[in-house]
Structure 1
Amino acid sequence: MCRRPLIPKAPFLRAFLTLCGSLCCLPALAGPPPATGLQSSQLAVVINDDEPNSVAIGEYYRQARNIPACNVVHVNIPGKPRKLTADQFRHLRNVIELQLPPGIQAVLMVWTAPYAVECNAITAAFTLGFDAGLCEKPCEASKPSPYFNAASSRPYPDFGLRLSMLMPTESVEEAKALIMRGKASGFRVQPATAYYLATSETARNSRSVYFPRSMVLPQQQLTIRTLRADSIADVKDIMVYQTGKAKVEQLETLQFLPGALADHLTSFGGDLLGESQMSSLRWLEAGATASYGSVSEPCNYWQKFPHPTVLLKHYLGGATAIEAYWRSVAWPAQGLFIGEPLAAPYRPH
């Protein structure tokens, strides 16, 4: 995890200062929810017919979320490669887009691998387009996302973007449990805690200056705890867990609530099947519902990781997991979004 200047660069600086003004008043976290959010009818499910787990999980998810059968897209990716070339991805994207019915705002890819397109994450490459220039200098600033901190619930008409997320398929049973956690998140709001940890790994604390202060939000029944610690243990009420560590300890002692979001700022969390650092898969296996990680060395720009306050603001405002996570990353080219996209514990009934 290389260190880099944390001061936003123009023209991003003006947008950042505007954002800071909107976030300084923390009661905005408890503001009115958006009128609408992503609906199951607006989500396409992409199944890899060459992988039996993808076929089984994709159909299970379609039924669990009442996704129209016409929203299911079929592709063939033999061999489960971790990384695609730009040409391979261009073909895959064309195959997907040719099958999309009208009105699709987001896409869920049902597989663990491939998760990268050269140095880009596959979810970013699909939504924003493949950024070849970044691969020459992956430790530099990447293109800003127009969806960062956006209020729009129609990313395709408003920005020309279809949001995307990956649902891992290493285990059918774990995937079914993930799907049920996402679905259960919509039943009722329950008392929960959001944990933000500034750790001893200094280079990975670059976004800790944007952690919300410790407080209680009575309307959402949410307690915010901002700590200086390397980990938490034996807590049973997690709705958000954001930290900066190459490996997060004591996950096996934790209980995540349905719809929980969790991620760690480190270089290769999005290298799902890699072993150099903790994979973001570990969050889902521990009970989180969605997560995020980078597939190539991003350095420690906070803009390349979920902004804590932006993520929390949109999730508490009723956004789905895929909307809240995508809105929270300013430069997402190297970042992989994984989990159950329709989880929305704070969407009004």
Structure 2
Amino acid sequence: MPRLQGRITAAELGLVINTADPYSVAVGEYYARRRGIPEAHVLRLPLPVRASLTIDEFEALQAQIKSKLGPEVQGLALAWTQPFAVVCNSITGALALGYQAELCSNGCAPSKPSPYFSYQGAKPFGDLGLRPSMLLAARTVESAQALIERGIAADQSLPGFLPANAYFVSTADTARNVRSTLFPPASSLRGLGVDAHTPAHKELPPLRRTLIYQTGLAVVPGLDQVDWLPGALADHLTSFGGQLERRPDSGQMSALDWLEAGATASYGTVSEPCNHRQKFPHPQVLLLSYVQGLSALEAYWHSVLWPGQGVFIGEPLAAPFAPKF
């Protein structure tokens, strides 16, 4: 894993607020205040409040972002839960890489690779012409505020006296367990302040001081029993985790359930991606990016090679391993 340089901070983050959505207004203004987002970096505009934007609606949003936010803005926080898609693309993927119409005729095909996957700097808009983005998503304003506070509490909180734990959990679900071949070996990375664990789902130990939890299941039970650290990252490989309105009784769990349980950022796909590992976060890249001091936004974006169908959600600036000056 190459050494990654710097990180995106509040001074370089753009914030987009949907003025047609009371949730977005309340959460966006709270986030701007708590994180100190510069007023010049806050874009307020009306958007439809539904799961998916049309292509025309997306192009209007993209044009507003390009015209109103300056070149110093390197990443985006989107203060809403819906819309999370642009037809069959994720909204975060489309904003960064452009709308990919071909995914709607064959979602199982390879998609456009992200140049951010192998990028080593901290100025992606200046260097690559793209801004990684993340939804400040939650089911209620109160849940979103708690999410934001977890992100703030995470900053520079690790490593501590006790190591954090990263759990990479294998399952018997063959189709969804394909990422297990990318799990790091069980090891004690004490120099980084993290212990990596690779248990089987049926033999899970108590999940203490959890910083990362990755697995492959349609629905992950027991999230209320996890001891989450501020800044925790968690996701499950399944087809429709990025359809944020989904409930566990629909057959597949929403990525939003990770945040509601206490994680600080997550990821899921909004349309059928098949089980290409490149369309989901790479476990080792995610872990090694995060412990180098990057934010949740950057670590998650570094870990997904084909993010066109995947939506990133959570508190973007959480950075538990950021250096203390």
Unaligned runs of 5+ in 2: none
Give 1:312's aligned residue. 287
SS in 1 for 2:23: helix
Amino acid at match of 1:326: W
Alpha carbons 1:179, 1:340 under 8 Å: kept: yes
Query: CA–CA distance in 1 between the matches of 2:270 and 2:282?
Result: 18
| Identical counterparts, % of pairs | 49
Query: CA–CA distance in 1 between the matches of 2:169 and 2:75?
Result: 31
Amino acid at match of 1:38: I
CA RMSD of aligned residues (A): 1.4
Alignment of 1:170-185 (within 5 A): 170-185=139-154
Which segment drifts farther, 194-203 or 216-225? 216-225
Q: Which of 29, 53, 57 is residue 27 of structure 2 equivalent to?
A: 57
Q: Do residues 265 (structure 1) and 209 (structure 2) align?
A: no
Query: CA–CA distance in 2 between the matches of 1:202 and 1:138?
Result: 20
Query: CA–CA distance in 1 between the matches of 2:283 and 2:121?
Result: 19
SS in 1 for 2:118: coil
Alignment of 1:150-189 (within 5 A): 150-189=119-158
Give 1:42's aligned residue. 12
Give 2:167's aligned residue. 195
Q: Give the superposition deviation at 1:173.
A: 1.0
Q: Give the superposition deviation at 1:159.
A: 1.0
Q: Do residues 209 (structure 1) and 181 (structure 2) align?
A: yes
Q: Do residues 294 (structure 1) and 269 (structure 2) align?
A: yes
Alignment of 1:1-349 (within 5 A): 22=1, 34-78=4-48, 80-189=49-158, 190=160, 191-230=163-202, 232=204, 234-274=206-246, 275-349=250-324
SS in 1 for 2:155: coil
Query: CA–CA distance in 1 between the matches of 2:184 and 2:278?
Result: 16
Instruction: Give the TM-score, by structure 1 length.
Output: 0.88
- Corresponding residue pairs, total: 318
SS in 1 for 2:117: coil
Amino acid at match of 2:179: R
Q: Give the superposition deviation at 1:146.
A: 0.8
Q: How big is each residue's C-alpha offset from its partner over 1:246-296, in whole Å with a ceiling of 9 and x where there is no partner?
A: 000001111210110000000000000033410000000010000000000
Q: 1:214 to 1:43 in 2, by over 3 A?
A: same
Q: How big is each residue's C-alpha offset from its partner over 1:123-151, in whole Å with a ceiling of 9 and x where there is no partner?
A: 00001100011111111111111111321
Q: Give the superposition deviation at 1:235.
A: 2.4
Which segment drifts farther, 179-188 or 209-218? 179-188
Q: Give the superposition deviation at 1:328.
A: 0.5
Alpha carbons 1:49, 1:76 under 8 Å: kept: yes
Query: CA–CA distance in 2 between the matches of 1:294 and 1:114?
Result: 14
Query: CA–CA distance in 1 between the matches of 2:118 and 2:170?
Result: 23
Alpha carbons 1:233, 1:251 under 8 Å: kept: no
Q: Give the superposition deviation at 1:66.
A: 1.1
Query: CA–CA distance in 2 between the matches of 1:265 and 1:183?
Result: 27
Which segment drifts farther, 109-118 or 187-196? 187-196
Query: CA–CA distance in 1 between the matches of 2:231 and 2:43?
Result: 25
Q: Give the superposition deviation at 1:219.
A: 2.1
Q: 1:71 to 1:269 in 2, by over 3 A?
A: same
Alpha carbons 2:156, 2:323 under 8 Å: kept: no
Unaligned runs of 5+ in 1: 1-21, 23-27
Query: CA–CA distance in 2 between the matches of 1:223 and 1:169?
Result: 29
Query: CA–CA distance in 2 between the matches of 1:204 and 1:235?
Result: 21
Q: How big is each residue's C-alpha offset from its partner over 1:142-170, in whole Å with a ceiling of 9 and x where there is no partner?
A: 11111113212111121111111111143
Query: CA–CA distance in 1 between the matches of 2:56 and 2:95?
Result: 13
Alpha carbons 1:112, 1:168 under 8 Å: kept: yes
Alpha carbons 2:51, 2:82 under 8 Å: kept: yes
Q: Give the superposition deviation at 1:227.
A: 1.6
SS in 1 for 2:191: helix
Which segment drifts farther, 171-180 or 241-250? 171-180
Query: CA–CA distance in 2 between the matches of 1:54 and 1:158?
Result: 30
Q: 1:257 to 1:132 in 2, by over 3 A?
A: same
Instruction: Give the TM-score, by structure 2 length.
Output: 0.94
Q: Give the superposition deviation at 1:234.
A: 4.0
Alpha carbons 2:156, 2:322 under 8 Å: kept: no
Amino acid at match of 1:296: S
Q: Give the superposition deviation at 1:231.
A: 7.4
